[in-house]
Amino acid sequence: MFPNGQTISMTSKPSKTVKAKPKRRTNKDVAVEHLTHAQAKAELVRLALEIAVHDRRYYQDDAPSISDAEYDALRRRSDAIEARFPDLLTAQSPSQTVGAQPSGRFAKVRHAAPMLSLGNAFSDEDVADFIERVQRFLKLDEVPVIVAEPKIDGLSLSLRYEQGQLVTAATRGDGFEGEDVTANVRTIAEIPQALKGKTVPAVCEIRGEVYMTTKDFLALNSKQAEIGDTVFANPRNSAAGSLRQKDPSITASRPLKFFAYTWGEISDMPETTQFGMVKWMGKIGFVTNPRTTLCRSIDEALAFYRGIGAVRADLGYDIDGVVYKVDRLDWQQRLGFVSRSPRWAIAHKFAAEQATTELEAIDIQVGRTGALTPVARLKPVTVGGVVVSNATLHNEDYIKGIGNDGEPIRDGVDIRVGDTVVVQRAGDVIPQVVSVVLDKRPDDARPYKFPHTCPVCGSHAVREEDGAVRRCTGVLICPAQAVERLKHFVSRNAFDIEGFGDKQVQEFYADKLVQSAADIFTLEKRDAASKTKLTDREGYGEVSVRNLFNAINERRRVELHRLIFALGIRHVGEGNAKLLARHYGSIDAFRSAMQAAGEGHDSEAYKDLNDIEGVGEVVADAVVEFFAEPRNMAALDDLLDEIEVLPAEQARTDTAVAGKTVVFTGTLTKFTRDEAKASAERLGAKVAGSVSKKTDYVVAGESAGSKLDKARELGVAVLTEDEWLALIETR
């Protein structure tokens, strides 16, 4: 089943027909010979712009809109044109830049040693050329010893340790300046806060890849889909989105992992080979990839590539190729870098996994939040070792050939039932239909008419103003939405009722035994009073029915955050539910505050809600809207008659700042704003965005402006960063 509200889009190559397995191209055979100087100049400008757009989507928005293979093809073409017309090379050329500028959400960190990228090889011949180049450069007769490692498809991270302690964690950014994600990284269990061992270099930067396993990614996505929150296109985006959270507690709830494979500044090099360094990083507390292998010939390196390609689907995490590195560090030193990549390493990329098959039907799934998601039913086909019979079509625009930005995709070619289509497993997980083989379109194939009514309840399905998602408007009458809401209600992170899964929800709903959440808790009483018993149903014996009732009864006492999450309010995931529970403490306080917040954005209650760190306007509005609907309140009352809600874990009261309201302003240099907020809240303080009479402290960093003036005007205590640190360290 595909999550609702998903908005991943894929563009295709400009050709109208896409073959099942595109011919592998090497760096050499990108046809540029026919180009005139003027044509080359114009095309380079166009390619640079296109690459910049995709860099931004990939690095800053965590939302790529083309596959890696397509992106590589763009860069390859740009490189080939530059190679033919070297005078056209400029400092702005894609070959001279890495990634994208930091996004501006986090403080910036200048890398002590730049974080560069890798050149790519797409064929055995490209790999042989790489080795030959190394030999020529170093004047070697023998093939140098090479370290081969899986190329992890995550995002690179630089960790700086001083005197063995983690001091900064930064993303790659543009290679020179990245984003400060220290507070978030401190929540990743696989990243040590302190290095192991008695004698570690005084300064030690370890670099590697943050990633998410396929299993964790799927679990996270289904959780996200349940709550109508962002669904990630692949584990890489999921890892990037999780790492770059404003609220470190959200990162903490995401299962991020880390493989160390290289380093930046190190004050005292402990080893002389790449392989030795990998072993050493293992000793000082990092996880390194166990498949890292020494290769003594090109054949051994290629055998590694083929071997890992064959088990790729079973690794449990995504890789997009293999990285070969010269083992001797003194040779690495001599080889150095050329523009954005080292001469001593290369990435041997896998071809995108694609296959062609027939689109037999398009089904519409209705999610819990009413989103209508089109799903392609395909004639089963093997894509990279996995049989695929369903693929996502994202939304109605995608079927029509229109991208998220309103621009044509696939040259504006639409997708029709009966078409032969190219299916791709992006990030090896969610198969998608990427293009159409127009030559094979049957004469009778007709454009697909996306339904304007819900296929389940017949209500109008309308498009949101700013999105491509069409939603069923029958929120409270649509059986599909009701069933999905109930599935969510009993799910693991909500009420977690054992033995009450999707199957029971569907059956009990269809037989009108359970129509609402409260019905779950009155099921036993009604069963006792009814002539037809649950035990009369097929597959329900005395024991299983007893167990089911016991499991339901066990959940009559529930923690507040589970209840809030279970309500299925749009955009309220587990993390937000916890924030709300902690902030309001009880269901009564929460409900009355939400009703007061319904008075408008100017109300104190709304401002208070919006000020909770991690709760933005979108979430706040969704919560307020939920509580403003009388039918939701009636359903909640019915439920509360049946259950007892445990008060939320109270904020700390035993610290110097407990119960105080603090505002951070100006440029903070001792900690990031996120870090400051997270630690203040952990200690029981409330962090507000604006200064008022209720503010207890204003912590002013460099060049603080109007908030500092306001604090002085109101006589609010103003602290420097150091004074704040001293205060939170006191008891």
The residue ranges that bind ligand IVH (CB under 6 A) are 116-118, 149, 151-152, 156, 209, 261-262, 323, 342, 345, 347
Output 338 or 634, the one with its CB closest to ligand IVH.
Answer: 338
Q: Are 110 and 72 in contact (CB under 8 A)?
A: no
Which residue minimizes CB distance to ligand IVH? 156
Q: What is the full DSSP assignment across 312-338?
A: GGGSSS-EEEEEEEESBHHHHHHH-EE
Whichever of 302 and 347 has its CB closer to ligand IVH, that residue is 347
CB of 107 to ligand IVH, least distance (A): 21
Cα 224 to Cα 201: distance, rounded to the nearest angstrom: 42
Q: Please say whether the beta carbons of 150 and 322 come within 8 A.
A: yes
CB of 345 to ligand IVH, least distance (A): 6
The structure tokens listed for 580 are 């709300």
- Cα–Cα distance between 170 and 244 in angstroms, integer? 11
CB of 293 to ligand IVH, least distance (A): 12
Measured distance CA(502)–CA(487) in Å, rounded: 6
Q: At which residue do the structure tokens 């500044």 appear?
A: 265
Catalytic residue check, 13? no
Distance of CA 371 to the CA centre of its chain: 20
Of residues 159 and 359, the one with the C-beta less far from ligand IVH: 159
Q: How far is the CB of 270 from ligand IVH (least distance, A)?
A: 18
CB of 472 to ligand IVH, least distance (A): 41
Q: Please, which residue, 156 or 238, has the CB nearer to ligand IVH? A: 156
Nearer to ligand IVH, 347 or 480 (CB): 347
Least Cβ distance, residue 109 to ligand IVH (angstroms): 16
The 10 Å Cβ neighbour count of residue 689 is: 12
Type of residue numbered 644: E
CB contact at 8 A, 324 and 268: no
Helices (H), ranges, 586-651: 587-597, 604-610, 617-628, 630-640
Residue 21 DSSP code: S
Nearer to ligand IVH, 313 or 445 (CB): 313
Which residues pair with residue 585 across a beta bridge? none
Cα distances (angstroms) measured from residue 266 to each of 108, 111, 204? 21, 13, 4
Identify which of residues 79 and 209 has a Cβ nearer to ligand IVH in the complex: 209
Tokens 């030690």: give the residue: 204
As a whole number of angstroms, the distance between CA 597 and CA 590 comes to: 10
d(CA 473, CA 527): 33
Give residue for tokens 């930046």: 264
Strands 345-349 and 120-121: parallel
Q: How far is the CB of 117 from ligand IVH (least distance, A)?
A: 5
- CB of residue 365 vs ligand IVH: minimum separation in angstroms? 35
Residue 438: CB atoms within 10 Å: 15
In angstroms, the CA 482 to CA 531 distance is: 26
Least Cβ distance, residue 244 to ligand IVH (angstroms): 15
The distance of closest approach from Cβ of residue 341 to ligand IVH in the complex, given in angstroms and rounded to an integer, is 7
**Closest to ligand IVH by CB, 95 or 224:** 95
Collect all residues with Cβ–Cβ distance below 8 Å to 262 and sequence separation of at least 6. 207, 208, 277
- Cβ proximity to ligand IVH: between 37 and 110 the closer is 110
**What is the C-alpha to C-alpha distance for residues 540 and 311, in angstroms, rounded to an integer?**
42
Q: Cβ of residue 154: shortest distance to ligand IVH, in angstroms?
A: 7
Q: With respect to ligand IVH, which residue has the nearer C-beta, 324 or 626?
A: 324
Question: What CA–CA distance (Å, rounded) separates 480 from 484?
Answer: 6
CA dist., res. 448 & res. 382, Å (int)? 26
Give the helix ranges, DSSP H, for 255-363. Answer: 274-283, 298-310, 329-335
Query: What minimum distance in Å lies between the beta carbon of 479 and ligand IVH?
Result: 46
Give 152 or 567: the residue with its C-beta nearer to ligand IVH.
152
Q: 151, 257, 400, 660: which is the annotated catalytic residue?
A: 151
Nearer Cβ to ligand IVH (151/488): 151
What are the two backbone dihedrals, phi and then psi, of residue 426, each rounded to the nearest 5 degrees? -75, 135
Q: How many CB atoms lie within 10 A of CB 103?
A: 15
Q: C-alpha distances in angstroms, 543 versus 81, 132, 537, 547? A: 73, 71, 13, 6
CA 443, 447, 448, 453: dihedral to nearest 10 degrees?
Answer: -130
Amino acid code (one letter) for 370: G
The span from the CA of 62 to the CA of 56, in Å, is 8
Alpha carbons 615 and 572: distance in angstroms, whole number: 9
Residues assigned a catalytic role: 151
